[in-house]
């Protein structure tokens, strides 16, 4: 079967592609515009690894260009789409909001149109825990309202879920939205905390800790995410004619539509996370405590109930192991000598 993975040079796209490459019956078609949001080298290096496999193909394409994507999907007889390409990052959305409108709204609309015109069997796409915004009802559950995003990034992702619903309803396109909770691990994004903390501690620079360290996150290991996506792709949502329209669950529908949290379901305090990085690096950090940043969510914690009921309980990597795997990768990738 032929699968399109958008954002395949990205962090989650890379791990998801690696996971699906193992399934020999899958032909993967990766696309990415290799933007310069962070160091392109890491994107090219991820692609180098993926291209070693016969069942992985890559083309540099931008999802805002409808015609090019349409022709590529048609030519390669794509049946399934995993849509991960987007402008990610909460803080960047305050500085460059237009990037989010272009990639996350126009790009997403293009993907939906392609699903409609080329009768794609299932669209699995990236949403985010950030959609929970002002919600303080822990753990976050998909059947609760998440209508109060607190920055444009989250607003575009929430919009994706609503846009997907309209297409699932109108054109019977099965769609599954994945609300990822802080994904981390080897080949991770240089703009994210684990990467930045590790880099600065090694370089003996200060690490910036927002909200005076009073944050907690539900950290999700990258390979767990890839594994879950590879299962979800073939769990195609069906129509639910008996869906209760008087007491709406926002994450389900009469249409073939589903929204799921993808998480480890465990809360880790940011300061404990940092302690673990220090332990692995055998170095103390120099901390610069700062106030809460606009647009940041103080705590995240996800309910895993809906996902576990849907695909069975999937084992997840403990954050202490995950940090170790990341730091082992980081040192190898950047050729860091332990004695430094």
Ligand X SMILES: NC(=O)c1ccc[n+]([C@@H]2O[C@H](COP(=O)([O-])OP(=O)(O)OC[C@H]3O[C@@H](n4cnc5c(N)ncnc54)[C@H](O)[C@@H]3O)[C@@H](O)[C@H]2O)c1
For residue 52, the Cα-to-chain-centroid distance in whole angstroms is 24
Q: Cβ of residue 245: shortest distance to ligand X, in angstroms? A: 29
Instruction: For the chain, give the number of residues.
Output: 340
Q: Does 34 bind ligand X (CB under 6 A)?
A: yes
Stretch in the footprint of ligand X (CB under 6 A) among 17-25, 177-185, 251-259, 326-334: 177-185
Q: Which of 2, 53, 55, 64 binds ligand X (CB under 6 A)?
A: 64
Between vectors from CA 179 to CA 122 and to CA 61, what angle results, nearest 5°? 55
Find the binding residues for ligand X in span 43-62 (CB under 6 A): 43, 62
CB atoms within 10 A of CB 267: 16
For residue 235, which of 302, 178, 150 has the smallest C-alpha distance? 178
Instruction: Tell me which of 20, 26, 28, 63 binds ligand X, using CB under 6 A.
Output: 63
SS3 label, residue 124: strand
**Which sign does the torsion angle of CA 211, 213, 217, 219 carry?**
positive
- Is residue 35 within the footprint of ligand X (CB under 6 A)? yes
Q: Does 103 bind ligand X (CB under 6 A)?
A: yes
Per-position DSSP letters for 58-70, written without gaps between them: EEE--TT-HHHHH
Contacts of 52 (CB under 8 A, 6+ apart): none
Residue 186 engages ligand X in binding (rule: CB under 6 A): no
Pick the stretch among 17-25, 34-42, 272-280, 296-304 that binds ligand X (CB under 6 A).
34-42
Q: Which residue has the tokens 């080329």?
A: 118
**Stretch of 9-17, 163-171, 198-206, 298-306 contacting ligand X, by CB under 6 A:** 9-17
Residue 27 or 128 with smaller CB distance to ligand X? 128
> Which is closer to ligand X, CB of 183 or CB of 338?
183
Q: At what angle do helices 11-21 and 40-50 cross, to 10 degrees?
A: 0
Would you count residue 87 as binding ligand X (CB under 6 A)? yes
Kindly report the number of other CB atoms within 10 A of residue 289's CB atom: 12
Interface with ligand X includes 9 (CB under 6 A)? Answer: yes
Q: Which is nearer to ligand X, 45 or 243 (CB)?
A: 45
88 binds ligand X (CB under 6 A): yes
Q: Figure out which of the listed residues 141, 189, 215, 217 binds ligand X, where binding follows CB under 6 A.
A: 189
Compute how many residues bind ligand X; rule: CB under 6 A.
28
Whether 153 is a known active-site residue: answer yes
Please provide residue 30's backbone torsions phi and psi, each rounded to the nearest 5 degrees.
-90, 140
The reply to whether 132 sits near ligand X by the rule CB under 6 A is no
Q: Does 126 participate in binding ligand X (rule CB under 6 A)?
A: yes
Catalytic residue among 153, 167, 184, 221: 153
Burial of 294 (0-12, 13-18, 19+ CB in 10 A): exposed
* 83 φ, ψ (degrees, to nearest 5): -105, 105
Q: Counting contacts by CB under 6 A, is residue 226 touching ligand X?
A: no
Q: How far is the CB of 200 from ligand X (least distance, A)?
A: 19
Q: Is there binding between residue 86 and ligand X (CB under 6 A)?
A: yes
CB-based contact 196:233 (threshold 8 Å): no
- Active centre residues (catalytic): 153
Binding site for ligand X (CB under 6 A): 7, 9-13, 32-35, 37, 43, 62-64, 84-88, 103, 107, 126, 128, 180, 182-183, 189
């Amino acid at each position: 079967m032929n699968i399109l993975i958008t954002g395949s040079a990205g962090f989650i796209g890379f791990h998801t592609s690696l996971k699906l490459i193992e399934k020999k019956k899958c032909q993967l078609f990766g696309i990415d515009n290799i933007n310069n949001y962070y160091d392109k080298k890491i994107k090219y290096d991820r692609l180098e690894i993926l291209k070693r496999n016969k069942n992985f193909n890559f083309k540099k394409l931008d999802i805002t260009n409808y015609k090019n994507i349409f022709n590529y999907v048609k030519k390669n007889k794509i049946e399934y789409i995993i849509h991960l390409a987007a402008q990610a990052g909460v803080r960047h959305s305050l500085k460059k909001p237009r990037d989010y409108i272009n990639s996350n709204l126009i790009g997403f609309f293009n993907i939906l149109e392609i699903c409609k015109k080329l009768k794609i069997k299932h669209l699995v796409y990236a949403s985010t825990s950030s959609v929970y915004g002002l919600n303080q009802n822990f753990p976050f559950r998909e059947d609760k309202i998440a209508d109060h995003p607190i920055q444009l990034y989250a607003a575009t992702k929430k919009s994706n879920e609503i846009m997907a619903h309209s297409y699932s309803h109108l054109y019977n396109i099965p769609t599954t939205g994945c609300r990822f909770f802080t994904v981390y691990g080897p080949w991770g994004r240089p703009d994210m905390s684990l990467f930045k903390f590790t880099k600065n501690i090694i370089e003996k620079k200060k690490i910036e800790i927002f909200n005076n360290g009073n944050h907690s996150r539900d950290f999700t290991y990258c390979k767990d995410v890839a594994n879950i996506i590879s299962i979800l792709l073939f769990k195609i949502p069906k129509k639910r004619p008996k869906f209760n329209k008087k007491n709406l669950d926002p994450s389900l529908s009469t249409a073939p539509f589903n929204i799921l949290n993808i998480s480890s379901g465990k809360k880790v305090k940011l300061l404990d996370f940092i302690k673990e990085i220090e332990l692995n690096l055998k170095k103390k950090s120099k901390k610069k405590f700062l106030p809460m940043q606009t647009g940041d969510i103080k705590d995240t914690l996800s309910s895993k109930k809906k996902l576990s009921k849907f695909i069975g309980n999937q084992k997840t990597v403990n954050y202490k192991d995950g940090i170790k795997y990341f730091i082992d990768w980081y040192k190898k990738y950047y050729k860091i000598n332990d004695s430094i």
